[in-house]
Structure 1
Amino acid sequence: MDSALSARRRIRPGRRALATAVAAGVLVAVTGASAATADTGPGRASAHRPNVLIMLLDDARADAMNAMPRTVSWLANRGISYPRAVVTTPSCCPSRATMFSGRFAHNHNVTAQSAVGRYDHDRTLQHDLDAAGYRTAAVGKIFNGWPSTRRPPHFDNAALTGGGYVSSSFVVDGDTRRAPYATTFIGDQINRYIDSYERDDRQPWMIYAGFTAPHSPYTPEPRYARVVDPWRANPAAREKDRGDKPDWLRPYTVTTAEGAATRQAQLRVMRSVDDAIASVRARLAARGELDNTLVLLLSDNGKFWGEHGLPSKFAPYSAADRVPMLMSWPGHLRAGVRDNRLAAMVDVAPTVLDAVGLRPSFATDGRSLLGDHRRSQVLTEYWHDTANGSIPTWASAYAPGRYRYTELYDAEGEVIDREYYDLDRDPWQLVNLLGDKARGNDPDVGKLARALAAQRRCAGAACW
């Protein structure tokens, strides 16, 4: 059977989670989404299904959003923010694959930057929306190393780049173009696709936009090149004694000044993203589509600003996996809600499909955030990747405000080191209770270790 036809037959609208979300205070009482799609035939999009716009930042931390005040005003103040949102693998390609698929990296198998070839494009958000009759477009960066000339499966249109800021090369539906400034071009291209798709208002659309910012090389527009954002480095960035940390970490010696410089460089390029997103909001308003568009802003991972002496991400510390997660759908999602649930990148695909009234055609490891499901902790995981330096394979049971238990593994999968942080008393992960040489304060991690082993193998509902 043709895979697209098979998917169309399996996709069914789901109302139960939407009703639950109304009771939970996430949705307003009148949504109009699922009820309107109940009679929609297989493969035909309903005009009542919302458009979907997903905007992904590259290396943006949750605490960097002060550089994007208009975006926060739109999506957080008039929508829902998730201050405890995390990625489940703090590495670019694995995290993006999780966003699109709703699955942990140990299930979608993109465990390294070079492993995108293992990705099953037919078990993704874009597959199911395409099968349901959505017009789909991908703009900007999708995966490291993905050829700009290759349109990703299940996207009708693509305007892709490999990165960079000034005079960047984009391939727009087969035509190569040179963008004076990549961030501005991405915003303009989103607007071009909106204009094109809105010529037929009967058919909803999904646009994914991957901004280069705030990834290096941090080239700002001239008007933002001298902006100064004062910062007092946090305790983790000022950490001096790292004797309790694993051996792999100790050679890294990023200074507080170097971390502050990275932060400032990121915030400068993020200001241009704020401008681009403001232009997108204006275009949606001009087209009368603000209330009919579900908008999400995310980041593929965080970025160290010198915390624990580290220069990048990839490691089991909060600066690497705490990311912005904002969602707006006026008239359908309540405005100004701070949802303190532990949300994760693995929840994005099931949430979007739930919002548009579709049941995933594949098993997801995450849950829709429109329901009232709550997790007490989340699995984060990483595999040694030579593209990312010496960081070993690790897995972590992370419960914000409570604890973080991490195991590090050798090439054979044997545990070579452990970390445990009491996040209630030590939110900056300064004292590894299993490595501080004070045996009297060592927690019994046997139960956590067994649970972590099960989580590293979980799939579908077993991950819930």
Structure 2
Amino acid sequence: MSDNPIPRPKNILYIFTDDQSFRSVSCYPGAHSWVNTPNIDRLAREGVRFTNCYTGAWCAPSRATYLTGKLQHGITSMHLPSGYPNFVRDPDRCPYWLEHLRNDGWYTGVIGKWHTGPDHGHGRYWDFSAIWDHSQPELYGPYYTNQKMSIQGGPPEEVGGYSTDNYTEFALDFLRGREEDPETPWHLWLCYDAVHGPWTVADRHLEDYQDVSPVPTPEDIYPPRPTKAGHMRAYGMWREDDNGDPVFILDGRTLTDWVQQYNRAVRALDEGVGRVLDAVEAMGQLDETLIVFTSDQGFAWGQHGFRHKFAPYDANIKAPMIVRMPGLVTPGTVCDAPIGGQDIPPTFLSLIGMEQPWPMHGHDISPLLANPDAEWEHPLLLENTRYCFGEYTDVGTGEAEGGIPWWVSLRTERHKYIRWLVYGEIEEMYDLENDPEELVNLALEPDHHEQLARLRHMTIDELRRTEAGMADHLPPVLVLTKEQLLGGAPVETAGT
């Protein structure tokens, strides 16, 4: 490693997609052989690719985590006074760090999907804004087409066209303005709504990926799954058709057909990334701009029976993440350390030399950018408390979403621990080095109970470190063996 100081980025471009699995990016080994994302792949060739990124469990908390630097249990005051997705929050109790960045002289912009309530903050958090607010669908319309957007803080207005292309055009408008003022540092948060359902494909890509090999059937696409938690044992959104192919239970379309559509919708997204990169390069600012590409979480297609996010398994929530900036990262490198969405704000602030405006939940990953093989001893806390945030999570359990209960999870270098916040439920623990598909629940193996206890206590320690009120109200778990679970032998209840 060089002894030279880490260079400070002059600008930050944060590209944030929606429901995009790492399997939809062709530079990731888990992608299907026919997937092609050349522009995102360019970032990986010129930057560092993270293999274990967990930005969140679903759309709203992932975005709120970026705006605050806190996990879902720390997003104070955010709640649903009526039905989903009409979130509101008190900006005095739940401030966003972008206001401090703007007050420090940065020109700030946000484009695309917004999901944390009607306070968009134009003129307070943002100098430039073009927002499609999914927390107000009755005013802003659906995903992809027939959208209305709030431009520069104005009321929603019709924009027509296809959302991925629209957001790219707004990003180019933002960059043209920055080219005219090259001395002022800028931050752009570009939030595509692709590839969220209904996975609408741009017309020009409807014929892409026509003749492809069938998508392999995930091993546990069909129930039963006897060694997972109770709700997972019979869970399933797929069935086998007369040809032996998995089809979605609600429409009979094959898994391959759905995965083709999903990846076709990524094509316009990849083109948008390429156009934005080309624009920054044409401005002469490419190599002084920190570029981060990621998604709010991943998406499972068949794995563990899902067509969903929300669940704590890698297939559901693991996202791509690529970081580019010459002098800061070594081109073409890979980092396997587990990182989370809560790590991004403290890293950005550290790299530009600003103090955190309040204690954030994540860690500065600058050491991993400088050396992807650096020692990283921070366990990664993950959680899903459905539509509850902040103080509304203190109770420690709540209503399930689509059959998925609340959960907390801890990811270490090798293991993943899962605690479902359901009274008297078993835990799950996976050795991701030997079982990356998370099929063998080691929490049921007596030889692993000592490790299970360590991870359980580490999870509670992380909840307390981040001042989670639920830490003292978690439902007790069952500690038992596979034989006890399957045979009904006496079991042990663990209260912590």
Normalised by the length of structure 1, the TM-score is 0.80
* Counterpart AA for 1:367: H
Specify the SS of the correspondent of 2:465.
coil
Which stretch of the first structure deviates more once superposed, 168-177 or 202-211? 168-177
The alignment status of 1:409 with 2:418, answered yes or no, reads: no
* Counterpart AA for 1:75: L
Aligned-partner Cα distance in 2 for 1:236–1:84: 21
- Residue pair 2:144, 2:163 contacting (<8 A) in 1 also: yes
Aligned-partner Cα distance in 1 for 2:272–2:177: 18
Post-superposition Cα deviations, 1:17-36, rounded to whole Å, max 9, x if no partner, equal: xxxx855xxxxx47553xxx
Aligned-partner Cα distance in 2 for 1:121–1:143: 18
1:160 counterpart (121, 128, 131): 131
Task: Tell me which residue corresponds to 2:62.
Answer: 95
- Residue pair 1:93, 1:116 contacting (<8 A) in 2 also: no
Specify the SS of the correspondent of 1:159.
strand
- Residue pair 2:106, 2:187 contacting (<8 A) in 1 also: yes
- Residue pair 2:79, 2:89 contacting (<8 A) in 1 also: no
- Residue pair 1:128, 1:361 contacting (<8 A) in 2 also: yes
Specify the SS of the correspondent of 1:141.
strand
Task: Tell me which residue corresponds to 1:458.
Answer: 465
Shift of 1:420: 2.1
The alignment status of 1:73 with 2:36, answered yes or no, reads: no
Specify the SS of the correspondent of 1:76.
helix
Task: Tell me which residue corresponds to 1:127.
Answer: 99
- Residue pair 1:59, 1:302 contacting (<8 A) in 2 also: yes
* Counterpart AA for 1:82: F
Aligned-partner Cα distance in 1 for 2:454–2:120: 49
Post-superposition Cα deviations, 1:19-58, rounded to whole Å, max 9, x if no partner, equal: xx855xxxxx47553xxxxxxxxxxxxxxx5111111110
Structure 1 residues 423, 327: closer, same or farther in 2, change over 3 A?
closer
Which stretch of the first structure deviates more once superposed, 234-243 or 390-399? 234-243
* Counterpart AA for 1:344: G
Aligned-partner Cα distance in 1 for 2:309–2:437: 15
- Residue pair 1:302, 1:321 contacting (<8 A) in 2 also: yes
Aligned-partner Cα distance in 2 for 1:260–1:124: 41
- Residue pair 2:109, 2:127 contacting (<8 A) in 1 also: yes
The alignment status of 1:141 with 2:118, answered yes or no, reads: no
- Residue pair 2:88, 2:118 contacting (<8 A) in 1 also: no
Which stretch of the first structure deviates more once superposed, 319-328 or 175-184? 175-184
Task: Tell me which residue corresponds to 2:192.
Answer: 211
The alignment status of 1:51 with 2:14, answered yes or no, reads: no
Task: Tell me which residue corresponds to 1:10.
Answer: none
What is the percentage of aligned positions where both structures have the same residue?
A: 24
Task: Tell me which residue corresponds to 2:405.
Answer: 392
Task: Tell me which residue corresponds to 1:379.
Answer: 381
Shift of 1:239: 5.2
1:353 counterpart (344, 349, 354): 349
2:453 counterpart (429, 446, 458): 446
Q: Greater relative contact order (Cα 8 A, min sep 6): structure 1 or 2? A: 1
Aligned-partner Cα distance in 2 for 1:129–1:116: 23
Shift of 1:138: 0.9
Normalised by the length of structure 2, the TM-score is 0.76
Structure 1 residues 233, 376: closer, same or farther in 2, change over 3 A?
farther
The alignment status of 1:64 with 2:28, answered yes or no, reads: no
The alignment status of 1:423 with 2:432, answered yes or no, reads: yes
1:108 counterpart (53, 75, 88): 75
* Counterpart AA for 1:409: L
CA RMSD of aligned residues (A): 2.8
The alignment status of 1:299 with 2:295, answered yes or no, reads: yes
What is the number of residues matched between the two proteins?
A: 411
* Counterpart AA for 1:133: G
Aligned-partner Cα distance in 1 for 2:195–2:320: 13
Specify the SS of the correspondent of 2:409.
strand
The alignment status of 1:223 with 2:200, answered yes or no, reads: no
Shift of 1:274: 0.9
- Residue pair 1:105, 1:111 contacting (<8 A) in 2 also: no
Show structure 1 runs of 5+ residues with no match: 1-20, 24-28, 34-48
Which stretch of the first structure deviates more once superposed, 107-116 or 92-101? 107-116
Structure 1 residues 281, 85: closer, same or farther in 2, change over 3 A?
same
Shift of 1:309: 0.8
Structure 1 residues 116, 350: closer, same or farther in 2, change over 3 A?
farther
Aligned-partner Cα distance in 2 for 1:330–1:201: 19
